[in-house]
Structure 1
Amino acid sequence: MFSVFMFEKISLSRKRNHNIPLTIYTIACLLLLSSCGNDHQGETTSIVLTGKIINPRTDHVVLINYSGIQDTLKLDAKGVFIKTYKDIKPGLFTFVHTNEYQSFYLGYGDTLRWRLNTKAFDESLAFTGAAAKENNYLIDLFLEIEKSNRSLLSESQREPNNFKEMIDRLTEMRIKKLKQAAKKDNFQDHFVENTIKIIKFNGWSGLERYAYTHYGKNEILQSDVLPSNFYSYRQHLEICDRELLNNYAYRPYVISLVSNIALYNCARKHGSGKTVDRTGYEYRKEKLHVIDSLFTDQELKGLFAGIETRNFIRNRKNAVEISDLVSEFLEISEDKLLNDNITKMAATYMNLDPGNKLPNFELYQYNNKITDLSSQVKGLGVLFYWSNKNESYALRIHKRVNELREKYPEINFIGINLDDPTSGVWHEASVKFGFNKSSEFQLVDNQSISKQLALRNDNRSMVVAPGLTILDPNINLFHYQIETTLLGYLSR
């Protein structure tokens, strides 16, 4: 069944006719939103799902299909999990382990086995058993797409017609290659249909990112002169289907689409993109309006609107703007639990506004004695949080902090570990990587304090003054102007 929104016959491409404003309402009228059937629609299968995780980061994995299944599978002492499903609908599923996730296909058959090493999550993932050929093809396609997408930035300097031809040619080549492999290895039809969607969404993402990378933010309105067929695919777009969340190219595509439309709309209001702040309230508000117009499915609408709202809350330092955007979000979201979570998150971050004070929470020292935060902040302090669950970030942030320590010895750079205090991993990581024990601590009450500070494991740092007065609740130590920022705080 198709839901057709076609109130006006206006192309979604950036036409030369400047008298027709491209708005999110026009877009809502033009998108064709649907979900597709397949030859096995409604059929279920019985399957044994088993796998082994080498170097596991937690004691479980999570299996999701965004259509009613969210299953936590426990790992045994050897990192092995096993689960039997008696009635399960084949299709793409999402596999999650800590902050890593990947799509996989659960097809018709008896047993699907997989194996991976978290040290090289995607590269080491391999399958045997039912639908193994499909899944190995899927992960190879992911790695190929990931590599290809890294080169798209340089390709964006091509002229529009040339760029679109390149994207179309690449998409057609991948689909042709898929069909050849499907014929040779007898891929399941449902898998082929889902993989074609992955290929198409990835190609469309490239088209949506082109205007910004080619013209730049300031001149985004020049995209009015793009060929009339540049965005023609939008007129037959299938986007309102929850099962697409298991498609690893779907979310990046939606984010690219929403960002492109919102930036254009904001620039149109100002007559140019020069004054549009892509981190600002107006732009994020416009993104929520775009999402509201694109999606009829309330769950998808809430999910993508929630992503935008959370990102804004995490990165803004203005309590009024946070409050205003949350109000906009609550206008379009009907998910009471999500609304409650967003509201609580906003309240937490607003309590962390500059000028407020951090709670004087307790910390373990390396010798296991307990101290408190205020005792460690004797001057200007930079608190950086890390977890051994994200080893690459832990190494990167410590390397960066060591560089800054050498240049600014008058600043107290304080490392705070977020791992379970009973696990011992903090001590092990500190010894293994040679972290500075005198300036490293661990939260005593890691659960409640993490919630109070709205901490995520991999990207939060703060600047505080003596007395724990917050100067910056969310500073980026990797920013190219970080030294200028730190000097500004020192000169106060």
Structure 2
Amino acid sequence: MERALLYLTFCFLASCAHKPDTGNTVYFAGEIVNPTSDYVVLYKNDVVVDSAKLDTSNRFSFSLENIEEGLHHFDHTPELQYVYLEKGDSLIIRLNTLAFDESLVFSGSNEEVNNFLLEMFLNYEDEEQLVYSYYALDPEKFSGKIDSLRLQKLEELNTLNIDKTISKGAFDMAKASIDYNSYIYKEKYPFIHKKKSGEETIHRLDSSFYDYRKNLNINLKELTYFRPYYNYVNNRFGNLSYMVCAQNCGMEKKMSSKDHLHLNQHKMHLIDSLVKEEYLRNNLFRNVAMDYLLKVHEVNNECNQFIDKFKELSENEAHIAEINHLYNGIKALQPKESIPDLAILSVEGDTVHMKDISKNNHTVFYFWTGDQKRHFRNVLRHVKKLEKQHPEYLYVGINLRTSEDKWLSMLNEQAIDKKLQYRSFDFGEIQESLIINNLSKCVITKDTVIVDAFANVFTRNPFVGQQKTLTAK
């Protein structure tokens, strides 16, 4: 209902909007409720096109001459979303950062394709749980279910194209959002099916299961920065490298550090052999290096050799610097190193340092954000169990990026000790310093000294300095 009302409101606004030029000029404007930044930044791929400052009414506008047509994205830190622009467009948006994607509505020229792309994005998020239940099915039934979901979306797109004629480029982009999200499910199937079915080895698949691959190009420059396409290509290479290694390299059933190294070396070789598009190629190399370092997070000769190979293949100096920085960060978080002395805020608004909290204590630092309430409830429930099993530890929650009002409101809804809850000053600083790449991570210290900076609060037992299964169930 809210989205419908917003849509009607902006249909009216769009009808009143002034289109500066019927030729090449693009007018892109809007209003942001509860802004989290002073600016909106428009990108084409990874290049900034322009930026606009919000006015006193939290509105912004761009007037753009001779831009490259196609998919762009706009950034309102820390969120971003896609926008499809063509010459002569006059497009208006409205959104509320408290529900960034869910509240976003496009009005004006090309509103149809932009709202459709947004709906496909939200639909993909909504249907993940349903699709996850399908992974236990045999390959033929699973494929049938996914194909059925895809056909339903294609029917919606074809209906849209009949009712509101859109350009071929816009139609192709909308179709890509359907196709690649569907094919991601199939690339993931062998691995999730193995986990759900309890089978010891990857289920044998008929060659027809991957028939869709025959007509897909993995060197499309125009889709390099489109999330569904990039995620599909990345999953496809992960699938291919694992299958080849499982058949030819004696891959162990349970992945070890050596297996991760071998698998990612093989994945880099496949990318080097098959991907010629420069930006996609470099982004994939970066992803392989990030994935390896964040999974293994060790410091040894094998890691050094892997990074040397990455540097040899990558042609992106910014990516090379980023990987070097990450590896140096991992080195600083090894056991027996001192925990970074980061400043955080207490519920009283006082500045406290993590070193001061952990001094003379055995401490578990865990993390959460206000936009993932389910995770927050789950981690609190699990921490309460751990407190009973291991009362010798201090359990400290750190919120990463939530407004103060929302943070305090969420704390008030829970029966927890607020004296052990803090909020980060700077999300980027704490994420980078502690290398927080997922919210299951926790950092364990003993009197300011790191015991395990890469523990998982749900699946590992850092309390004895070893990676074992936690006892809380």
Report the equivalent of 1:11.
Answer: none
> Which string of whole-angstrom CA distances, capped at 9 and with x for unpartnered residues, describes residues 213-232 of structure 1?
33458422x43x513x3323
For residues 155 and 426 of structure 2, the distance between their equivalents in structure 1, rounded to whole angstroms, comes to 55
Report the equivalent of 1:142.
Answer: 121
Stretch moving more, 403-412 or 117-126: 403-412
Aligned-residue CA RMSD in angstroms?
A: 3.6
| Equivalent residues of 1:381, 1:464 under 8 A apart | yes
How many angstroms does 1:281 deviate by? 2.5
Q: Which amino acid aligns with 2:408?
A: S
Stretch moving more, 306-315 or 370-379: 370-379
Report the equivalent of 1:486.
Answer: 463
Report the equivalent of 1:473.
Answer: 453
Q: Aligned with 1:412: secondary structure?
A: strand
| Equivalent residues of 2:339, 2:355 under 8 A apart | no
Q: Which amino acid aligns with 1:200?
A: D
Task: Check 1:355–1:55 CA distance in 2 against 1; reply closer, same or farther (3 A cut).
Answer: same
Matched residues, number: 438
For residues 487 and 194 of structure 1, the distance between their equivalents in structure 2, rounded to whole angstroms, comes to 51
Report the equivalent of 2:408.
Answer: 430
| Equivalent residues of 2:442, 2:453 under 8 A apart | yes
1:356 aligns with 2:333: no
Report the equivalent of 1:335.
Answer: 316
Report the equivalent of 1:91.
Answer: 70
How many angstroms does 1:163 deviate by? 3.8
For residues 168 and 150 of structure 2, the distance between their equivalents in structure 1, rounded to whole angstroms, comes to 19
| Equivalent residues of 2:42, 2:48 under 8 A apart | yes
> Which string of whole-angstrom CA distances, capped at 9 and with x for unpartnered residues, describes residues 99-122 of structure 1?
543323223444101112233332
| Equivalent residues of 2:444, 2:462 under 8 A apart | no
For residues 282 and 147 of structure 2, the distance between their equivalents in structure 1, rounded to whole angstroms, comes to 32
How many angstroms does 1:402 deviate by? 4.9
Task: Check 1:417–1:202 CA distance in 2 against 1; reply closer, same or farther (3 A cut).
Answer: closer
1:323 aligns with 2:299: no
What is the correspondence of 1:73-222 to structure 2 with a 5 Å cutoff? 73-215=52-194, 218-220=200-202, 222=203
| Equivalent residues of 2:42, 2:74 under 8 A apart | yes
Task: Check 1:364–1:163 CA distance in 2 against 1; reply closer, same or farther (3 A cut).
Answer: closer
Identify which of 19, 37, 56 aligns with 2:35: 56
For residues 47 and 426 of structure 2, the distance between their equivalents in structure 1, rounded to whole angstroms, comes to 34
| Equivalent residues of 1:93, 1:105 under 8 A apart | yes
How many angstroms does 1:136 deviate by? 1.9
| Equivalent residues of 1:385, 1:418 under 8 A apart | yes
Task: Check 1:311–1:80 CA distance in 2 against 1; reply closer, same or farther (3 A cut).
Answer: farther
For residues 427 and 112 of structure 1, the distance between their equivalents in structure 2, rounded to whole angstroms, comes to 33
**TM-score normalised by the chain length of structure 1:** 0.76
Report the equivalent of 2:366.
Answer: 384
**TM-score normalised by the chain length of structure 2:** 0.79
How many angstroms does 1:343 deviate by? 0.7
For residues 444 and 178 of structure 1, the distance between their equivalents in structure 2, rounded to whole angstroms, comes to 44
How many angstroms does 1:236 deviate by? 3.0
Q: Aligned with 1:355: secondary structure?
A: coil
Stretch moving more, 118-127 or 382-391: 382-391
| Equivalent residues of 1:267, 1:276 under 8 A apart | no
Report the equivalent of 2:5.
Answer: none
For residues 77 and 371 of structure 2, the distance between their equivalents in structure 1, rounded to whole angstroms, comes to 7
What residue ranges of structure 2 are gaps of 5+ in the alignment?
Answer: 1-22, 469-473
Task: Check 1:268–1:116 CA distance in 2 against 1; reply closer, same or farther (3 A cut).
Answer: same
Q: Aligned with 1:306: secondary structure?
A: helix
For residues 135 and 352 of structure 2, the distance between their equivalents in structure 1, rounded to whole angstroms, comes to 53
Task: Check 1:462–1:71 CA distance in 2 against 1; reply closer, same or farther (3 A cut).
Answer: farther
Identify which of 409, 412, 424 aligns with 2:394: 412
| Equivalent residues of 2:434, 2:453 under 8 A apart | no
Q: Aligned with 1:319: secondary structure?
A: coil
Task: Check 1:232–1:68 CA distance in 2 against 1; reply closer, same or farther (3 A cut).
Answer: same
What residue ranges of structure 1 are gaps of 5+ in the alignment?
Answer: 1-43
For residues 210 and 385 of structure 2, the distance between their equivalents in structure 1, rounded to whole angstroms, comes to 46
How many angstroms does 1:452 deviate by? 4.0
For residues 436 and 426 of structure 1, the distance between their equivalents in structure 2, rounded to whole angstroms, comes to 17
Q: Aligned with 1:474: secondary structure?
A: strand
| Equivalent residues of 1:156, 1:210 under 8 A apart | yes
Report the equivalent of 2:45.
Answer: 66
For residues 172 and 296 of structure 2, the distance between their equivalents in structure 1, rounded to whole angstroms, comes to 41
Q: Which amino acid aligns with 1:310?
A: M
- % of aligned pairs identical? 25
Q: Which amino acid aligns with 1:267?
A: A
Q: Which amino acid aligns with 2:335?
A: P
How many angstroms does 1:84 deviate by? 1.0
What is the correspondence of 1:277-356 to structure 2 with a 5 Å cutoff? 277=256, 280-320=260-300, 321-356=302-337
How many angstroms does 1:148 deviate by? 3.5
For residues 81 and 183 of structure 2, the distance between their equivalents in structure 1, rounded to whole angstroms, comes to 20
1:258 aligns with 2:237: yes
How many angstroms does 1:368 deviate by? 5.4
> Which string of whole-angstrom CA distances, capped at 9 and with x for unpartnered residues, describes residues 309-363 of structure 1?
2233234332114433322321210111210121121111112111222244555
Identify which of 230, 248, 252 aligns with 2:209: 230
For residues 343 and 157 of structure 2, the distance between their equivalents in structure 1, rounded to whole angstroms, comes to 56
How many angstroms does 1:411 deviate by? 0.9
> Which string of whole-angstrom CA distances, capped at 9 and with x for unpartnered residues, describes residues 153-172 of structure 1?
33334443444444445434
Q: Aligned with 2:166: secondary structure?
A: coil
Q: Which amino acid aligns with 2:292?
A: F
Task: Check 1:426–1:140 CA distance in 2 against 1; reply closer, same or farther (3 A cut).
Answer: closer
Report the equivalent of 1:20.
Answer: none
| Equivalent residues of 1:298, 1:333 under 8 A apart | no
For residues 431 and 162 of structure 1, the distance between their equivalents in structure 2, rounded to whole angstroms, comes to 45
Q: Aligned with 1:249: secondary structure?
A: helix
For residues 120 and 159 of structure 2, the distance between their equivalents in structure 1, rounded to whole angstroms, comes to 14
For residues 368 and 143 of structure 1, the distance between their equivalents in structure 2, rounded to whole angstroms, comes to 36
Task: Check 1:395–1:54 CA distance in 2 against 1; reply closer, same or farther (3 A cut).
Answer: farther
| Equivalent residues of 2:340, 2:355 under 8 A apart | no
> Which string of whole-angstrom CA distances, capped at 9 and with x for unpartnered residues, describes residues 66-105 of structure 1?
1744544333344322111121232122233345433232
| Equivalent residues of 1:126, 1:136 under 8 A apart | yes
Q: Aligned with 1:211: secondary structure?
A: helix
For residues 387 and 157 of structure 1, the distance between their equivalents in structure 2, rounded to whole angstroms, comes to 31
| Equivalent residues of 2:298, 2:330 under 8 A apart | no
